[in-house]
Chains A and B, each alone.
Chain A
């Protein structure tokens, strides 16, 4: 059998084409929850395996597998690095380089997650403060705040002190049933804390701003979360109301924007895809298939963990 370090490297490399395949797969819209789980598992598995493989290459044989070997490796390398440049010392320096690279990747991933969380918290605090100055309640949208703007905006500010916000433009655009569907959708986001699902992928985008795959993953998870909230809203509201609300808000947003607001279009077809899904739903994935996907996700995360602590 291959040594654990090589297996970790295989996992780290293998998750990349797997993620690319998931990005272009068609089934996720039939079972958004399972697809989100798979995305999360792929991301976590890649991170663990990549860090593990780098650190493992710098490790020396030890009782506690790759994780324990890394520590002995660091001690070993530092001890040898001070002596004359013998072959032993060169190997030790090489090991140290891999250890440093592994530690740097770990630090980078932790840092971007922290930075993204901090940025999100600050932006929300500012947004809530502005809302407390500008927004007011309206009997047409119970539990939501209204901002007097002609734009068609409807969104939520997640968090412990969450808010649902609807612009005056949206109030004028939608009828009562459509507004209720929008509120149900936003409440689903808040209740399930979908923002916490998207956050790590947003952070990954900061770590690797040039990676097309990371961008695809972020976009895919964002869309899947919207679909989840759509599904949840359907428990209380008919699909048609949600679909026409989406069409109206989407079509309005596409109109030439007024004043300072210039449109940054979303990747083509997201709103259309959600509408099509609402009006002509494909059958959900069979329970067995979903169970298999969830097991695969669990195995993806378990594999690098086991490889990291497995005694050599």
Chain B
């Protein structure tokens, strides 16, 4: 997937395999992985002569944003899908928390 993100233009299976230089993967392995990515909607593919060319459906930042939106419970519905360590707090509460942190630091130093 990183290969697709880094490339400006759609790549064939052979090109993707060639860019995965750190791993010696069989052509069919790369093909299977790309096919699966396309089925899950993470990659788009288009016919180019006899080969398929693949590109990322969205850029990396879009997916990171989606992950973080979900993780920080931006939808506000408190779904039980994930469990966050600390949820987003209001500005006024954040102020209180920062003050608490500072006073804790002073106790530690004093």
Which residues of chain B come closer than 8 Å to A247, judged between CB atoms?
Answer: 97-98, 100-101, 104
B20 close to A (CB within 8 Å): no
Tell me how far the C-beta of B78 lies from the nearest C-beta in chain A, rounded to whole angstroms. Answer: 6
> Is A307 close to B, CB under 8 A?
no
* Interface flags, B34-45, vs A, CB<8A=1, else 0: 000000101000
Contact yes or no, A149 B89, CB < 8 A: no
Pairwise interchain contact A262-B74, C-beta atoms closer than 8 A: yes
Given A134-B67, A260-B69, A261-B72, A253-B83 contact (CB < 8 Å)? no
- In the complex, whether A6 has a CB less than 8 A from a CB of chain B is no
Establish whether residues A199 and B80, one from each chain, have CB atoms under 8 Å apart when the complex forms.
yes
Q: How far is the CA of A120 from the CA of B80 in the complex (A)?
A: 6
Q: What is the CA–CA distance of A265 and B93 in the complex, to the nearest angstrom?
A: 9
Instruction: Check B97 against A275 for contact (C-beta < 8 Å).
Output: yes
Cα–Cα distance between A229 and B100 once the two chains are bound (Å)? 22
Task: List chain B residues, Cβ under 8 A from A155.
Answer: 71, 82-85
Fill in one digit per residue for B86-109: 1 if any A CB lies within 8 Å of its CB, else 0. Answer: 111111111111101100100000
- Secondary structure at chain A's binding surface: helix, strand, loop or mixed? helix
User: Would B78 and A202 count as touching, CB distance under 8 A?
Assistant: yes
CA distance A58 to B31 in the complex (A): 63
A158 is an interface residue with CB less than 8 A from chain B: yes
Please classify how large the interface on chain B is, using the bins under 10, 10 to 19, 20 to 34, 35 or more: 35 or more
Q: How far is the CA of A266 from the CA of B92 in the complex (A)?
A: 12
B95 pairs with A254, CB closer than 8 A: yes
Given known pairs A153-B68, A251-B94, A271-B93, the reply for A244 and B83 (CB within 8 Å) is no
Shortest CB distance A50–B (Å):
23
Q: Contact at B98–A261, with CB atoms within 8 Å? A: no
The CA of A263 and the CA of B83, in the complex, are separated in Å by 17
Complex Cα–Cα for A243 and B69 (A): 25
Q: Is A185 an interface residue (CB 8 A)?
A: yes
Please name all residues of chain B whose beta carbon is closer than 8 Å to the beta carbon of A116 when the two chains form the complex: 79-80
Which chain B residues lie closer than 8 Å to A171 at the CB level? none
Distance in Å: Cβ of B58 to nearest Cβ of chain A: 10
Determine if B83 and A156 form an interchain contact, defined as CB atoms under 8 angstroms apart: yes
Name the A residues within 8 Å of B42 (CB-CB): 129, 133
Contact B78 A218 (CB under 8 A): yes
Q: C-beta contact mask, B58-78 vs A, less than 8 Å → 1, else 0?
A: 001001111111111111101
Across the interface, B88 reaches (CB within 8 A) one of A129, A149, A218, A264, namely: A264
| Chain B positions within 8 Å of A202 at CB level | 78-80
User: Using Cβ atoms and an 8 Å threshold, which residues of chain B touch A182?
Assistant: 85
**Complex contacts, B25 vs chain A, CB 8 Å:** none
Q: Does B26 contact A (CB under 8 A)?
A: no
User: Which residues of B are in contact with A by a Cβ distance under 8 Å?
Assistant: 1, 40, 42, 60, 63-76, 78-98, 100-101, 104
15 A-B residue pairs with Cβ-Cβ distance under 8 Å, sorted by A, are A123-B81, A129-B40, A158-B83, A186-B83, A243-B104, A253-B72, A254-B97, A259-B65, A260-B65, A261-B74, A262-B74, A263-B90, A264-B88, A266-B88, A275-B97
